[in-house]
Structure 1
Amino acid sequence: MMKRLGLLLLASLVSACSSDGWRTASREPAGIAPSPEVQKDAVIEVYAADAYSWRGWFAVHTWIATKEQNADRYKVYEVVGWRLNRGLPALTEYQTPTPDRYWFGAKPEKLLSIQGEQAQTLIPQIAQAVNAYPWKNEYKVFPGPNSNTFPAWIGQQVPELGLKLPFSAIGSGYADNTP
């Protein structure tokens, strides 16, 4: 009886996560990032959102966005494991007017925001650290390197950011394993 109840519970939990949800999940802007049209100063922001599917019950996905002074777009840096399946690096960089998009249905939370002269000074250091990231072509959910290892490692290379990741940034501790 208990075994059957356990199987039913497991089946219901799995079915709650097994839809084609990632194809239709929201990737809309959350409206929490400064608009480049309004905010002309340089900006650095770090976001976290619940990881996709069942992983979101205990883990987040994190990413970094920078905007140079007077730029009309943000540069977003993040590590995405499924890119490796396509023969692409896990580390990706792209430009967007809205770096605060939902992470496949999960609303992001702003972990860090630096604006103005300090951001303008730190952006080249972030770019340099991104170029030196040692696990561009690797991804492991646990213990890392993964999407949380990346911003943790950037934070170590640019300590002036004062970046503090949440406990749910599983894999952030892997950044201590710099080769």
Structure 2
Amino acid sequence: MIVLLALLVVPIVVSAARYWMGDRSVDWQSADRSSAGLLPPPAAHPEALVRVFAARTVRWRGIFAVHSWIVFKEKGALRYTRYDYTAWGEPIRLNGFAADGRWFGDVPSAIASADGDAATAMIPKIQAAIAGYSWRSYGDYRAWPGPNSNTFVAAVLAAVPELQVALPPTAIGKDFPYAGSAFGWTPSGTGVRATLGGYLGVTAGWVEGLELNLLGAVFGLDIRRPAIKLPGIGRLGVSA
């Protein structure tokens, strides 16, 4: 218990120090949401494209968690399509922000990508998963333990296991039972997951590695791309 408590407290303290030193406590209303320049102009990239982005959440919540979203562009399209799941208005938000925009000041990271024919095959599955997402009504959003933005993205990723991606350990809400079942396959289809309402859970998969979810805080090991996973900090090791 002492070791587990240290693994929980120390990484969050480190993340909190980074938060204050990096001045992420900006006013959310005036925070930068402009493009971070991570995507090419659509006309310069005629092939289909799929991206999953993640960035630290707004204000103090960024100590603990990231917000994730999905971007795609069909072949020949002249604009990107972005889907977020947010706490205000209708939860599923279409093109509410720049496709690769800073999330209230924080520059996002691309955690999954596909291009060309592979992306073309994925896009209809992504669209169907979004259209069929269960937690889509006003008031459904819950920051903790879910369903939140990361729950939404995890559910969509489960429809395209060929993308072979695991959301970061700081994606609180990814372990919420988006399909309504406490047991099931991981979004990558390479392992299994068990969860008690997102409060407690275990995940084991080739892509996801081994993860323990304790009240939303995720500890784990990635064997495929060696790394440890810590709450607040995320991955330490080989880049995902």
With the shorter chain as reference, the TM-score category is: 0.7 to 0.9
Contact 2:152 2:178 in 1 (8 A): no
Structure with the bigger percentage of strand: 2
Moved over 3 A (4+): 16-19
Whole-angstrom CA distance in 1 between matches of 2:164 and 2:129: 15
Structure 2 gap segments, 5+ residues each: 1-19, 182-240
Secondary structure (helix, strand or coil) at the match of 1:117 reads helix
Per-residue deviation, 1:164: 1.1
CA distance in 1 between counterparts of 2:131 and 2:179 reads: 17
Residue-by-residue CA offset, 1:50-76 (whole Å, 9 max, x unaligned): 000000011000000010001111111
Q: Residues 114 and 136 (structure 1 numbering): CA distance in 2 closer, same or farther, change over 3 Å?
A: same
| Number of equivalenced pairs | 158
- Once the two structures are superposed, residues 62-96 of structure 1 have per-residue CA deviations (whole angstroms, 9 ceiling, x without a partner) of 0000100011111111101122xxxxx21111287
The answer as to whether partners of 1:27 and 1:102 remain within 8 angstroms in 2 is yes
Match of 1:144?
A: 146
Task: Structure 1: state its 5+ residue gaps.
Answer: 1-12, 84-88
Match of 1:103 in 2: 103
- Which residue of structure 2 aligns with residue 171 of structure 1? 173
Which residue of the other structure, out of 87, 93, 105, is the alignment partner of 1:81? 87
2-structure distance, mates of 1:125, 1:49: 24
Match of 1:25 in 2: 31
Structure 2 match to 1:90: 91
8 Å CA contact 2:64, 2:170 repeated in 1: yes
- Aligned with 2:165: secondary structure? coil
State the SS of the aligned residue for 2:145.
Answer: coil
Q: What SS does the corresponding residue of 1:66 show, helix, strand or coil?
A: strand
Per-residue deviation, 1:153: 0.7
- Cα separation, 1, equivalents of 2:73 and 2:24: 35
What is the rounded CA distance, in whole Å, between the counterparts of 1:63 and 1:18 in structure 2? 22
Say which of 52, 57, 65 aligns to 1:51: 57
Q: Which amino acid aligns with 1:131?
A: A
Give SS of 1:34's match.
coil
3-state DSSP class of the match of 1:174?
A: coil
Q: Which has the higher helix share?
A: 1
TM-score if structure 2 supplies the norm length? 0.62
Q: Which residue of the other structure, out of 70, 73, 82, is the alignment partner of 2:76?
A: 70
SS in 1 for 2:28: helix
Q: What secondary structure, in the 3-state scheme, does the structure 2 residue paired with 1:46 have?
A: strand
Whole-angstrom CA distance in 1 between matches of 2:25 and 2:66: 19
Q: CA offset at residue 17 of structure 1? A: 7.6
